[in-house]
Amino acid sequence: MPVNYATPSPEALFPVAGVKLGVAEANIRKAGRKDLTLIEIAPNAAVAGVFTQNSFCAAPVKVCIDHLSRNPDGIRALVINTGNANAGTGEEGLQAALKSCAAAGELLGAPLDAVLPFSTGVVQEPLPIDRLIAGLPTALANLSEDNWFAAAHAIMTTDTVAKAASKKVITAGKTMTVTGISKGAGMIRPNMATMLGFIATDAAISPPLLASLVKEAADQSFNCITVDGDTSTNDSFVIIASGKGALSFVSEEESGWAEAKAAIFAVALELAQAIVRDGEGATKFITVAVEGGVSQEECRKVAYAVAHSPLVKTAFFASDPNLGRILVAIGYAGVDDLAVEGVKVWLEAAGESALVYDRGCRAALYREEDGCRLMREAEITARIHLGRGNAAAKVYTCDLSHDYVSINANYRS
């Protein structure tokens, strides 16, 4: 069960003009579930993406990067399967990804390099490409701008809820729509982007502007989350600007851009946080907010050390204010010459804030019962001040529970 998250209703997901979605049962891994999604993009849209930094990046990721560089202005479709990651599959996997592009392109009257493929699921097993291709006509037949809800469900793997977010912005009397979906619950420690995230807007956004937007949006959303520290082979985050709406942006200086950008960032953050709220086995949503660092990089190092510590995560699961474990993680995060006497740690939840550690030892006014009360909340912030600068960083994570072990021990069964 996700922590304070429910999939929005179909009506709450605004259609984006110029972007149609269709889903099908292709029996990729298990029968009787929608596991194939086709997204058709009207001509002249701008599309940009960021992808995993894992050396074993999946075949579809390689194809995406290649197609986006060869055909940046002509992307017409995304093909997304769940159940199989098509990673660690060598030349055969690459050919399978290309075949899926060719087949979708043929159905839509577009060239092979106008299609971007995405896969998620088990690593190092051959993609059943024939079944995928056989499913495409069904997905094509139900293409509709109203299908975001169905697509959010069809890209799930170990997710317990479908993840989607949508916003409308009115600026200078003109309306812009932003809608997105994401998936992911385990193998989540995005480095450039998350498992799968797709956002579409009807605004027109020039390709250079969109390219910098997608990086910045990823850095402030998907690149700030972690479930288990395992950076996936398939992380992909894509923004589509269909250009069918009223607003159009070529540069950062244009009026309305700040609002447009804020709406897109808000959707990205909502989708990224939804992944943590639905983290495998999660019972708590935890924000690690590090401030007072010399650089953002060292703040992120500390935040990730705390967010990845199995001991910190099990303490949150147990609602046990065994907060020394946070100090331990700060201590091995790799910050040079950290003066521990200058470090402060607060526990914050439900509008309350308790100073836990100060001046080299447990804070004088800290009381165990305060820690116990705050640790029982479902949403908790561990705020850490390093006392050595002005940089800050936030990382969102979840606790480590019995269910994480169960889910991953039984993943393929």
Give CA 230 to chain center in angstroms.
13
What's phi and psi for 347, nearest 5 deg? -110, 130
Burial class (CB in 10 A: 0-12, 13-18, 19+), 9: exposed
**Would you say 73 or 341 has its CB closer to its own copies?**
341
CA distances 218 to 91, 196, 376, Å, are 29, 12, 31
**Would you say 248 or 408 has its CB closer to its own copies?**
408
226 touches its own copies by CB under 8 A = no
Interface characters, 230-269, with its own copies (x: CB under 8 A): xxxx------------------------------------
Among this protein's residues, is 194 annotated catalytic?
A: yes
Look-up: residue for tokens 């990089």? 297
What's phi and psi for 216, nearest 5 deg? -65, -40
Q: Are 183 and 274 in contact (CB under 8 A)?
A: no
Shortest Å, Cβ 90 to its own copies: 3
Burial class (CB in 10 A: 0-12, 13-18, 19+), 78: buried
* Tally of CB atoms within 10 A around 59: 27
Q: Of 318, 355, 391, 392, which one interacts with its own copies (CB under 8 A)?
A: 318
For the record, the structure tokens of 324 come out as: 């020394």
Query: Which range binds its own copies by CB under 8 A, 12-20, 249-257, 263-271, 355-363?
Result: 355-363
320 touches its own copies by CB under 8 A = yes
Q: Of 10, 12, 73, 92, which one interacts with its own copies (CB under 8 A)?
A: 92
**CB under 8 Å to 399, separation ≥6 — which residues?**
281, 282, 283, 284, 286, 313, 314, 316, 317
Q: Of 31, 32, 55, 69, which one interacts with its own copies (CB under 8 A)?
A: 55
Query: Which range binds its own copies by CB under 8 A, 25-33, 97-105, 271-279, 394-402?
Result: 394-402
Interface characters, 97-136, with its own copies (x: CB under 8 A): -------------------------xxxxx----------
Amino acid at position 350, single letter: A
86 touches its own copies by CB under 8 A = no
Note the residues at the interface with its own copies (CB under 8 A): 53-57, 85, 87-93, 122-126, 186-187, 189, 191, 228-233, 308-311, 314-315, 317-318, 320, 322-325, 327-333, 335, 338, 340-341, 357, 359-362, 400-402, 404-406, 408-413
Positions marked catalytic: 194
